[in-house]
Amino acid sequence: MVAIESAFLEAMRSGLGQVEINPVADGVLRRFHVPGDRSGSVNGWYVLHADGIASGAFGTWKAGDHHTWCSRKPADPLEAQLIAQRIELSRAQREADTARRQQAAAEYAKRMWRDASRADPSHPYLTLKAVRPHSLRQSGDTLLVPLYLNGELVNLQRIGPDGSKRFLSGGQVKGCYSPLGNISPGRRLYIAEGWATAATLHEHACGAVAAAMNANNLRPVAISLRAKYGDLVEMVVAGDDDRQTAGNPGRTAAIEAAKATKSLVTFPDWPEGSPIHLTDFNDLANWRASHEC
């Protein structure tokens, strides 16, 4: 590997971990496996130019991060302009590739959803979480959780019998949610992380719930729903309480989502004697059910 590619790889490893590729400096957007991701996945991207000032960019679709690299500082405004043009080109290439991946995933999601059957209430995951299937569907032994954006099905979360969860490769997640119940003016609307937690809230609080699917998506979903419904609904962010995780990401993300949308926020009220490993409203409901007299 020549000096340019070696220096660029070093920058990639500094930003993403022990990346195992041989970068190609041809100005083409390329994908690669990100350390720590599922085996066989290619959620990373990079583009590297060797002519003039060697420069490039890299990042990951999953985390949405973006890094730029340059072999040296521009010597004059013309070189600086060239670097800026390359950065803009890499952005346009990345966005076009993302759009293609999301469109392909959305089309696949629609086919899977169409061909699936109603979810079996005795599916191991539903039994473990002690919730009803609601609108979920099932393909083989895999539950399908629908994710919508502006009323359109764009992605699926697949939940195996062992509880393993995977979104469709390339599918959009940010700003998307899985709905339970009907959102009505004057009624309370909850926003939760996982689908099982959302199902628990829907069953116990008898209100509409939007499952954001992860903590990082609480804020985008809350902003989208606030923009759509304004003050017609009372929005409540029902956060997880990751008490054993540094920084408590569930609580932190929920508070940020509530602040950004001027919404209420709530967390599980842990009874005395409840185990410290419990984190969400589903955990709380099941623990209470198992300790009823």
pLDDT at 84: 85
Residue 158 within any structural domain of the chain: no
Report residue 109 as tokens. Answer: 């999601």
197 Cβ partners below 8 Å, 6+ apart? Answer: 211, 238, 240, 280, 281, 282
Per-residue pLDDT at 90: 82
pLDDT, mean over the chain: 92
Do the domain assignments include residue 136?
no
Contact yes or no for 144/123 (Cβ under 8 A)? no
Single residue among 58, 78, 105 that ends a domain in this structure: 105
Determine, yes or no, domain membership for 192.
Answer: yes
Does residue 124 fall inside a structural domain? no
Is the same domain home to 283 and 184?
yes
Domain end point (choices 82, 105, 128): 105
User: Quick one: pLDDT at residue 72?
Assistant: 83
Q: How far apart are CA 205 and CA 103, in angstroms?
A: 35
Share of the chain above pLDDT 90, in %: 70
Domain-located, residue 261: yes
Strand order in the sheet with 152-159: 117-118, 137-139, 142-149, 152-159, 165-167
Mean pLDDT, residues 193-218 = 95
Q: How many folded domains does the chain comprise?
A: 2
1: pLDDT strictly greater than 70: no
- Across 83-98, average pLDDT: 84
Q: Buried (b) or exposed (e) across 224-248, using 16+ Cβ within 10 A?
A: bbbeeeeeebebbbbbbbbeeeeeb
The enclosing domain of 238 has a CATH number of 3.40.1360
Chain segment 110-155, per-residue pLDDT in tens: 999 999 999 999 999 999 999 999 999 999 999 999 999 999 999 9
Q: How far apart are the first and last CA of the chain?
A: 69
How far apart CA 290 and CA 58 sit, in angstroms, is 49
Q: Decide if 122 is inside a domain.
A: no
Backbone torsions φ then ψ of 237, nearest 5 degrees = -90, 115
Q: What digits encode the pLDDT tens for the residues 31-74?
A: 999 998 888 888 899 999 888 788 899 998 877 788 988 888 87
Domain encompassing residue 280: 175-293
pTM of the entire structure?
Answer: 0.81
Strand 178-180 with 165-167, pairing = unpaired
Residue 241 lies in a domain: yes
Helices (H), ranges, 174-215: 195-205
Q: What integer pLDDT is reported at residue 28 of this predicted model? A: 87
